[in-house]
Every structure is written in C-alpha cells, then in structure tokens.
Amino acid sequence: MGSTEAVQAATAGAGESASGNGAGNAATAGRPADRRLLINGELIDTGRTFPSLNPATGDVLGYAPDAEVADAEAAVAAARKAFDTAEWATDVDLRIRCLEQFHQALIDHRDELGQLTTDEVGATPALLAGAQLDQPVAIVKYYADLLKTYSMTEDLGNIESRGMQHHRWVEKEAAGVVAAIIAYNYPNQLALAKLAPALAAGCTVVLKAAPDAPLITLALGELIANHTDIPAGVVNVLSGADPAVGAVLTTDPDVDMVTFTGSTPTGRRIMAAASDTLKRVFLELGGKSAAIVLDDADFQTAAVFSAFSMVTHAGQGCALTSRLLVPKSHHDEIVELVKANFSFVRYGDPNDPKTYMGPLISEKQRDKVDAMVQRAVAAGATLVTGGEKKGPGYFYTPTLLTNVDPDAEIAQEEVFGPVLAVIAYDDDDDAVRIANNSIYGLSGAIFGGEERALAMARRIRTGTFSINGGNYFSPDAPFGGYKQSGIGREMGEAGLEEFQERKTFATVVPQADKEGAA
C-alpha cells in the first residue's frame, strides 16, 4: 500500500464519498480559525484554515485550523513522551479525577456543544438528548466510575514446576499511544467512545476530527485544555483538510494502536497501512443491517420502528436497519404501513423541536445517495415514495424501495442516507439466509413471537440485535460488529480492555511460605 492510499484511508469519513464540507474545500491562508488544535497541552492556530459548512443551509459555519504533517508528528511525539515519562499510565486516581473533571466540563458546556452539534452535523433536539450528545457525555462518567472498582490485576494462583511452587498473576497495562480517527455522523459519540476508555486504560491519544465536522471535536479538545488536569501531551486533537495528516497516524512507529470509525473500504486500507508496524487496530465499520418482520408480529409496531429508525439523523448511522425483510404473504400490507409512517416524518431545520430528520452532511453525500436510488430503480426496484432532493441545505426525502433483489447494490452496499429497501422472503430459513447475505454484521432487528424471534436472532451473524424494539445502546453495553463490520468492541468493560495489554508475571514461592501455607 502506497503512502498516498494510506493517507486517503486515514482521513475519509464514514462513507467513501462523505467528505464534502471540509476535505473538499481548499485551505485558506490567513483567515482566523474559530477553534484551535490541541498539541502537547497548548491550543494552537496553524495560520491556515478550512471551512466547515452548515448542512441545513449550505453556508459556511466556521473555519477550522488546517493541520500539516509537522503538526501531526508533533502531536504523536507529545503523546509518546507523555506516555513514556508522565504518571498518567500508572496513576489510576489521577485518571479518575481527570475523567470526572472532563465529564463536569461537558455538562457545564452542554448548551454550547449542543448548538454546535446541531449547526455542524444537523442534529435535532431529540438526537442531542440521545446519541448525539447526552449519551456520549454519560460514557465519560461510566469509565470514571468503572475505574473505581475495576481490578488491574488477576491472580492465577500457584503451579508446581521443577519441584518448586510458582505464583502467577496478570497485570493490565495501557496499550500505549493511540491514534483515534473518527467519522462525521456522530462526532461526540465517536470521539468520547474512544477517548474515555483509552484515557481510563492509561493510554495517551491523538484524536483526528472528521474533515466534514471538525469544529465540535476541536471544542472537546478545548474543554480538556481549559477545564481538566489532564497532563500535557496525554490528549492531542487535530483537524485538517490535507489527507497527509492522517497517514502519520497510521504509519508512525510511535503510535501503538489505531482506532477508527468509518466505512469498511477505508477500514481495510487503514488496517493495511498499520500492518507495516504491526499496530493494534480497532475498527468500527459499516453495516447493512436487516430488520425481519415475522408473520406473527405486530405489523404497525414493526413499521413505525423501521420507518423512523431509518430516517434517524437522515439515515447516517452504521447500525441502522436499512433492509426490511417481510413475509411475501404480508408484503403489500407492511409496505403500506411503512409508507404511511414515512409520510409523518417531519424534516427541515434541525433547530426546530418538531423536526425529526435533519440534512445529510454534504451535497456530495446527497448526490451519492440519490445516484444509488436511481441505479436501484434502473435495476428493477420500485420507488414507492421519496427519492427527492430538497433545499436549502442537503435534505433528501425519506425513500422506500420495494421489489429489491437481495443481491442488488442497494441491498448490499451501505447508502448512508434515509433509504429503506424492502425484500420479501418465503419462510424463516429464507429470512435468516437473506439477513446473513452480506459482508457486514453490525446489527439487526426482528419482530414477532419472543421465543421464535430470539431463536432466529441467534442464527444471524451480527454484533448487536434488537428484539421487538429493544434498545441495546448504552455506555455499559459492548458495541461492534462481525465480519467486515469491524474488529473489537466499543463501550462497556470490553471497550476498556481494547486499550489494554496484559502482562503475565511469575515468581518462585519461597520455601518458608510454602511450609507456612501448608
């Protein structure tokens, strides 16, 4: 893999053509930045900026500092020094205190962060109360509390070898310097779900903002610099339109681990770039999840779930169930219910409390979504409703497609827009087969009798699953995928352990201790 490919991989957003607000616009010399980079404890303006757009209007929202390769190298060097020489990796009490300070700063600045998240990614008030802000803030508190009870050692007891007793134990140590690269769609969730467990584990971090949504991530760095005792170099935050910045994070030998959230094609390239130095890699990637409606389900409940979850954040979510599998005998009935629910979706100004669906992140992403819908129709799918661009801003109407072949592009590829593909199945085995007919395995849902639904859910190869509308998403629940939806788990104790190494110790038990124990 050449350096140019590695660079492009490291800076892509959640979709292959997602970048359009930041990365697609040239940097501007001399224009003041609205936020600052955080490098080695200092808030820095590079003197070069690039714009971030408001996706609801298409207007420039503000300007982010445009980091260069030297800035990325300085951030990695600062993180390396902090890990190797500061007390951060070994002082659990310091980490607890700093995480609690960070959590309080996030609470105190909730209104500012919420407005910025609405303006930069189109998050509605309902989403701010959930996965766009309040739930991510809770992740920081979760890991601060977890550290108070989590054991960093594991006793393995004694074994006899060579006529002597040997005592063994395991100590859990920080993995080292972490490069964290995030997508644009849920910037607070993605940043905090990486920062909090990495910091709790004792790692130092270089966090790279998505080019389409840099300002909110930079704001998190400013809170850390201004309101916590986190030592210089432990957290570094970068933004940049130059893809060369990302290459440093995936290839620099001083980086021990890369954690990335984004598209599967990009994840493959990041994994390849990190392989030269055998970095640990955590990948939270794409999905093409299926919701199955059984013939004994409450069809209205299933239709409401399928319609409104698909248009959550304009469909810009990797775990959304973008395939709806329905029994052939009830196909038309369920389609009509979903269509009716789509008609109730209010889209528009994300500042309006009555708005359910905001815009797509960029014109480029909207064009990609529209092109996939048009190709699906040309391939034989039926457009039941939607398929329209709306403005100002980058809105796309909730779109329902039927007569979708399970092997068609629209049924196999991640759209990252408010597009639901309906696929008819013959029986339970056929439904499971279609659901598993994907390179992805991130999530899924099923509606029907509890016992039957659970038995089918266990046959589907995904990392998370909702039964009859159950919500699995919370700070204590591991989240991640099977197959090409990723490697590893975020959140929960599993999320902390992604950022740990385990060192096994053994010592000879003195003879006196053996006799005393006897």
- Residue 359's SS3 state is coil
| Mean pLDDT, rounded, for 162-179 | 97
The per-residue pLDDT for range 189-217, each reduced to its tens digit, is 999 999 999 999 999 999 999 999 999 99
Position 246 pLDDT exceeds 80:
yes
State the Rg of the chain over Cα. 24
Six-digit token string for 28:
């501007």
| Mean pLDDT, rounded, for 400-421 | 98
Six-digit token string for 270:
């990041």
pLDDT band at 23 (very low <50, low <70, confident <90, very high): very low
C-alpha distances in Å from residue 42, one per residue of 45, 62, 98, 231: 10, 21, 17, 11
Which H or E run includes 381? none
Position 390 pLDDT exceeds 90:
yes
| Mean pLDDT, rounded, for 292-306 | 98
Q: 239 with 213: CB under 8 angstroms?
A: no
Q: 72 with 206: CB under 8 angstroms?
A: yes
User: Cβ-count burial of 344 within 10 angstroms (0-12 exposed, 13-18 middle, 19+ buried)?
Assistant: exposed
Q: 268 with 427: CB under 8 angstroms?
A: no
- pLDDT, residue 506, reads 97
- pLDDT, residue 21, reads 46
Question: Would you list the DSSP string of 409-434?
Answer: HHHHS---SSEEEEEEESSHHHHHHH
Which comes out higher in pLDDT, residue 66 or 25?
66
Asked if the peptide bond before residue 392 counts as cis, ω within 30 degrees of 0, the response is yes
| Mean pLDDT, rounded, for 405-424 | 98
Which comes out higher in pLDDT, residue 121 or 18?
121
| Mean pLDDT, rounded, for 97-105 | 98
pLDDT band at 241 (very low <50, low <70, confident <90, very high): confident
Position 229 pLDDT exceeds 70:
yes
* 271 CB neighbour count, 10 Å cutoff: 18
The neighbouring-strand residues paired with 371 are: none
How far is 216 from 113, CA to CA, in rounded Å? 7
Q: 132 with 189: CB under 8 angstroms?
A: yes
| Mean pLDDT, rounded, for 143-168 | 96
- pLDDT, residue 16, reads 38
Query: What percentage of the chain reaches a pLDDT higher than 90?
Result: 91
Six-digit token string for 43:
């808030």
Q: 347 with 356: CB under 8 angstroms?
A: yes
Average pLDDT of the chain, as a whole number: 93
Backbone phi and psi for residue 269, each to the nearest 5 degrees, phi listed first? -70, -35
Question: Would you list the DSSP string of 296-348?
Answer: TS-HHHHHHHHHHHHTGGGG--TTS--EEEEEGGGHHHHHHHHHHHHHT--BS
Lateral strand order in the sheet of 28-29: 28-29, 48-53, 60-65
Q: 333 with 303: CB under 8 angstroms?
A: no
- pLDDT, residue 304, reads 98
pLDDT band at 280 (very low <50, low <70, confident <90, very high): very high
* 257 CB neighbour count, 10 Å cutoff: 22
- pLDDT, residue 29, reads 57
Query: Pairing mode, if any, of strands 419-425 and 323-327?
Result: parallel
- Domains of the chain with CATH codes: 3-285+485-502 (3.40.605.10), 290-467 (3.40.309.10)
Q: What is the dihedral sign for C-alpha 125, 127, 130, 133?
A: negative
- pLDDT, residue 61, reads 97
Position 456 pLDDT exceeds 90:
yes
Active site residues: 284, 318
pLDDT band at 4 (very low <50, low <70, confident <90, very high): very low
| Mean pLDDT, rounded, for 233-254 | 94
Q: 167 with 183: CB under 8 angstroms?
A: no
pLDDT band at 5 (very low <50, low <70, confident <90, very high): very low
Question: Would you list the DSSP string of 487-514?
Answer: ES-BSHHHHHHTTEEEEEEEEEPPHHHH
DSSP letter at 153? E
| Mean pLDDT, rounded, for 321-334 | 98
pLDDT band at 18 (very low <50, low <70, confident <90, very high): very low
| Mean pLDDT, rounded, for 127-149 | 98
The per-residue pLDDT for range 474-486, each reduced to its tens digit, is 999 999 999 999 9
Position 2 pLDDT exceeds 90:
no
Which residues contact residue 249 at a Cβ distance below 8 angstroms, ignoring those fewer than 6 apart?
10, 72, 76, 179, 181, 206, 208, 255, 258
